[in-house]
Every structure is written in structure tokens, then in C-alpha cells.
Amino acid sequence: MTLTGKMLIGQQSLHGHRDAIRAMNPATDTPLEPAYAGCDAEHVEQACALAWAAVDIYRETSLADRARFLETIADNIEALDEELIERAIAETGLPRPRIQGERSRTCGQLRTFARTVRLGEWLDVRVDNAHPQRQPLPRADLRQRHIALGPVAVFGASNFPLAFSVAGGDTASALAAGCPVIVKAHNAHPGTSELVGSAIAQAVKQCGLPEGVFSLLYGSGNELGIALVTDPRIKAVGFTGSRSGGIALCQAAQARAEPIPVYAEMSSINPVYLFAAALETRGEQLAEGFVASLTQGAGQFCTNPGLVIAVQGPALERFIHVASDLLSRCPAQTMLTPSIFNAYETGVSALAKHARIAAKGLAATGPNHGQAHLFVTQAPAFLSNVHLQAEVFGATSLVVECKDAEQVRQVSEHLEGQLTATLHIDDHDLPQARALLPALERKAGRLLVNGWPTGVEVCDAMVHGGPFPATSDARSTSVGTAAIHRFLRPVCYQDFPDSLLPAALGHDNPLGLRRLVDGQREA
């Protein structure tokens, strides 16, 4: 297909009237065609009105129909083939295998949610049968299911132009829950967004759904985002991006006449703990793994290992030495956008004021080339200096040298909320790892042993979430099938005749769900 530079409002393609967005190829610092003119208040109104008109129909589609819709989106994205791959590479500077892998992940994610929809456990059906004879009062017939919250506004991430953008995890889980979605396209990849948006809009049509199930809007600045979040028909928000951006959306959502939930995935430095025995026996191997995880994708991952915590001594010295040596040979890499590159440079400079530079990667050889950095500081400095906890989005990490296990504990308790925390241990380290675990469970959404936090599996058990500021809502995950729960709420039906009950709650269990009936789980 030819890129049009138009937004999608339901099945309609429209040109905007406001300031245009134009993607930049970060590898060449050249602008890409076409321009995407921003939408105005009237377009937001149209998209929200269509979404509102769609919600009661879409949220009651059968499990099979909804699953098929998600699978059709995946099929349509795959059919975009090379055009999508090439555009995404041009707009992000990410290498081809990464974009191909991300497309697989995106389509796999949609199909995984299709499976989850069909399984129906997310309905959380509970049935308490009537007890007309109970004393002193009879019990009514009570049945609970979950329904969609309503239209959801999704703000895609810059660093996952497919897997966390227009048809990414937020969109897939909201659509799975039965919520219409309005996406604000990320300004860094408008063409990729148009391609994927068209694939979704086409699936809406193929599946005979109301057109308001999906819209895709463009707009520079914050105006469009705030207009979406404050529209009374929007009932929840999914966001992946900066801490300041996430907090602004949370505040706008809370200031509404009817406050709504915002799921913002914001800021995490992902502490990695190197325990004594592991460091002693395989410090070099750990240094290799660390540098590979840190520099992968120019370090542009929410789960990038931005903090290393260990007890000082010769083994840690050797780790720092080997990691520095490896890092100093890492080529600079093209970052996603000029503004991300500039923010990275600013972040590195700020960190350099407070911590010692242990190593730098190879210098830039092209535009927007981020140079990897490794910093070192001591625990007392870390504990007393809030700047050392600021996320620097890119291939930069800080080693915190601790005097002893007690100082490791203090540093851990001092941490803000995190997406991940990683423990590198050998058998001898188990007692100390066990002692630290309660603090880490309080601090992070995912705990890893002897791995690296980059690489987030889309599965049932994944938690890509964590206490503030990792996310705005620690009760949720934005990756994995449990993400569907973010967009649902329970409704109870009391003494309903069978003919008026939704199918999930019918007396004969027509959907064949495993329901909780009178306190017992059905087989």
C-alpha cells in the first residue's frame, strides 16, 4: 500500500489540519515522506463518538468472534511483509533481525490473546446459587462476570514500533477485553503506525465489527493526548514512555469528573545483584553477559540493566575491569530518534557529575550514535544522591560498590520501584539471596536468577510491571496474558432469569467455562 499521511477514524482515512509530524531516519538524519498532519478537536470527537457507538456491541462479541478478530489483525500485519519491515527500519534505525523478531512477537502476542479470549478465564465467572430456605434470610441467585471498561486510549512506545505500538500489547489486551481502542501514533514512527493501523482497520471490516472499534490519530505536542485522556467516553489509558509523560497523563485522568485508570509504564533502572560466590567463580562470564544485555538495541529497553550492586573487593574489581574492557570495544549505535539521543547525552553528562566513569564505548561514527558508558560509585554516595537513581535511557549503567551485605540491603531498600531485579548467585549465595528476596519482591515486578532482564517473554506468567515509578499501577502487567485484566471490571447479576443473563452466566453454562460455583471450582 502507499502511505497516505492520513489518520484513521474508524473506516475513514482523513487528512489532519494541524502541525505535521514527519519521521526522521535516525541513521541518516533525513526526513521521511509523507508528512502526517495533526488532528484537531473535531477528529478526537469523531473517534470517541465512534468508539462509544461500538462499545456495547463489541464488548458482547462472542469469544470465538473476538479471538478471530485478533488473529485476523495478526494475519493482516504479516501480509504487509517487506513494506512494514523496511519502513520500521527506516523510522527507527533498528536492525532488520530485530524488526523481524518484533513482528513475530507482535503477531504471536495477538494470537496468544486470541487463545486467552477463547479460554474465558478472564471472565472470572462466579455463581452463588439461590438458597430460598436459608434462615434468617433467603439467599438470592448471584452471578458475576467481568465486562470491558469501555473505550481505551493507547499511547505507543518509541522503542517497540510494533510490539508496543499501534497493535502492541496495550492494544491487543484492550481489544481482547472487549474495549474499542483509539491509538495516538508515536511521532517517531508514523508510517509504521499507518501500515499497522490499516491492518487493524481492515480486520475490523473483514470481521464485520462496528468501525469505531479502532481509530488511529496523529498529533504533535501534548494537546491530542490530553484531549483523549480527558474525553468522558475514554475509560482507561495505556501508555509506555517517559516518567514525566506518564505522570502528566495520570494527573489529567485523575482531574476528570470521572477519574479513570491509567496504566503507564515509565521508568526503571533494573538492579542486577552480583553475589560473592557467583562473582568469584564466573566474574568474567558475568561481565560478558552484562555488557551484551546493556548494549543490546543501543540499550533502549525498559528492562535495560542500568544498575549493578555488589560487595566491593577483588572479584568486583575484576568484573568492572573486564566489563570496561568489553564495553570500550562496543561500537556506538544509532538511537531511535534525535530527541532520544539528545536525552541520552544529557543523562550521561548528568551522571558524570556524580559518579566516576569506568569505561566508554567506541565514539560515534554517525548521527544519533549513542556511546555506551559504565559508571562506578560507592553505596554511601548512592544512598545520599537521588540523581544516581535517574533512568538514563540507553546503554549506560552504574556499578554501586557496597561495603558489606548490610549496605547491599540499605541500597535495595533505598531503590524506587522497578520492573525487574536480577540475582546472580551460586549455591553458596543462596542464604544471602534469600535474605534479600522480601525487599526485592516489594520493589520489583519480575525477579530473575542468573539471567539478564532484557528480553520479556509474552506468556501467562510474565509480569512487566512494578511499583511506582516503574509503572503507575503495580497491580498490573503490560506484557503477557494477565494484561487483559487491566481493562475489565466485575458486574453481578442478581436473580436474573436465564433469558436475560449473558451467556457466560447461563444456568446451563453454555460456554462451558470453569466457573466458581458455590465456592467450588467446576471441572
Catalytic residues: 265, 302
Residue choice 363, 365, 449, 508 for contact with a second copy (CB under 8 A)? 449
DSSP character at residue 18? E
Selected range binding a second copy among 9-17, 174-182, 219-227, 513-521, rule: CB under 8 A: 513-521
d(CA 406, CA 426): 19
Give least dist CB 160 to a second copy, A: 16
Kindly state whether residue 127 participates in binding a second copy, applying the rule CB under 8 A. Answer: yes
Kindly state whether residue 500 participates in binding a second copy, applying the rule CB under 8 A. Answer: yes
d(CA 356, CA 330): 19
Residue choice 85, 140, 405, 503 for contact with a second copy (CB under 8 A)? 140
Residue choice 326, 332, 462, 504 for contact with a second copy (CB under 8 A)? 462
DSSP string covering 368-415, please? TEEPPEEEEEEHHHHHH-GGGGS---SSEEEEEEESSHHHHHHHHHH-
Residue choice 35, 49, 119, 350 for contact with a second copy (CB under 8 A)? 119
Q: Which CB atom, from 134 or from 353, has the smaller least distance to a second copy?
A: 134
Contacts by 516-521, CB closer than 8 A, 24 or more apart: 516/124, 516/125, 516/126, 516/127, 517/126, 517/127, 517/128, 517/129, 518/127, 518/128, 518/129
DSSP string covering 169-219, please? HHHHHHHHHT--EEEE--TT-HHHHHHHHHHHHHHHHHTT--GGGEEEE--
H or E stretch at 126: strand 126-128
H or E stretch at 260: none
| Residue appearing with cell numbers 575491569 | 321
DSSP character at residue 141? P
Specify the amino acid at residue 338. P
Among residue numbers 181 through 200, which ones bind a second copy (CB under 8 A)? none
SS3 of residue 52 by DSSP: helix
Give least dist CB 399 to a second copy, A: 22
Selected range binding a second copy among 75-83, 131-139, 154-162, 178-186, rule: CB under 8 A: 131-139
CA 456 and chain centroid, separation: 10
Q: Which CB atom, from 314 or from 438, has the smaller least distance to a second copy?
A: 438
Give least dist CB 244 to a second copy, A: 15
d(CA 400, CA 403): 10
Q: Which CB atom, from 360 or from 485, has the smaller least distance to a second copy?
A: 485
Selected range binding a second copy among 39-47, 202-210, 355-363, 458-466, rule: CB under 8 A: 458-466
Residue choice 32, 277, 343, 448 for contact with a second copy (CB under 8 A)? 448
Contact 478, 169 (CB under 8 A): yes
Kindly state whether residue 245 participates in binding a second copy, applying the rule CB under 8 A. Answer: no
From 442, 374, 395, select the one nearest 414 (Cα to Cα): 442
Q: Which CB atom, from 105 or from 369, has the smaller least distance to a second copy?
A: 105
Among residue numbers 251 through 290, which ones bind a second copy (CB under 8 A)? 251, 254, 258-259, 261
Q: Which residues does 376 contact at the CB level (< 8 Å), separation at least 6?
A: 320, 355, 356, 358, 398, 399, 401
From 285, 239, 291, 275, select the one nearest 454 (Cα to Cα): 291
Give the binding-site size for a second copy (rule: CB under 8 A): 80
Strand 418-424 to 271-274 pairing: parallel
Residue choice 12, 442, 503, 509 for contact with a second copy (CB under 8 A)? 442
Residue choice 151, 219, 361, 465 for contact with a second copy (CB under 8 A)? 465
Kindly state whether residue 437 participates in binding a second copy, applying the rule CB under 8 A. Answer: yes
Selected range binding a second copy among 23-31, 286-294, 333-341, 435-443, rule: CB under 8 A: 435-443
Residue choice 394, 472, 478, 484 for contact with a second copy (CB under 8 A)? 472
Give least dist CB 23 to a second copy, A: 28
Residue choice 18, 22, 98, 115 for contact with a second copy (CB under 8 A)? 115
Among residue numbers 23 through 82, which ones bind a second copy (CB under 8 A)? 55-56, 60
Give least dist CB 278 to a second copy, A: 13
Kindly state whether residue 409 participates in binding a second copy, applying the rule CB under 8 A. Answer: no
Contact 160, 91 (CB under 8 A): no
Among residue numbers 477 through 496, which ones bind a second copy (CB under 8 A)? 477, 482, 488-496
Residue choice 29, 42, 81, 121 for contact with a second copy (CB under 8 A)? 121
Strand 24-25 to 30-31 pairing: antiparallel
Give least dist CB 22 to a second copy, A: 34
Q: Which residues does 488 contact at the CB level (< 8 Å), separation at least 6?
A: 122, 146, 147, 148, 149, 177
DSSP character at residue 299? G
Kindly state whether residue 180 participates in binding a second copy, applying the rule CB under 8 A. Answer: no
- Per-residue mark of binding to a second copy, 149-168 (x: CB under 8 A): xx------------------
Among residue numbers 287 through 326, which ones bind a second copy (CB under 8 A)? none
